[in-house]
Amino acid sequence: MRLFPLSKIAYFSRNLYYWVVWGQIVQTTIIYQYKDI
């Protein structure tokens, strides 16, 4: 049966959430550094 495992979906979505949050942190850090200059 070709059903995608629920645990894999949960793991992937959690990974994606961490990547989005990390990307926002990096973006704000870069913006603040450019504001300092």
| Residue-level pLDDT, tens digit, the chain, 37 residues | 566 677 888 888 889 999 999 999 999 999 888 887 6
> Which two structure tokens, joined as six digits, stand for 27?
């973006």
Number of domains in the chain: 1
Name the residue range of residue 4's domain: 1-37
Q: Residue 35, class by beta-carbon neighbours within 10 Å (0-12 exposed, 13-18 middle, 19+ buried)?
A: exposed
Within 10 angstroms of residue 15's Cβ, the number of other Cβ atoms is: 10
Q: How far apart are CA 31 and CA 1, in angstroms?
A: 48
| pTM (two decimals) | 0.51
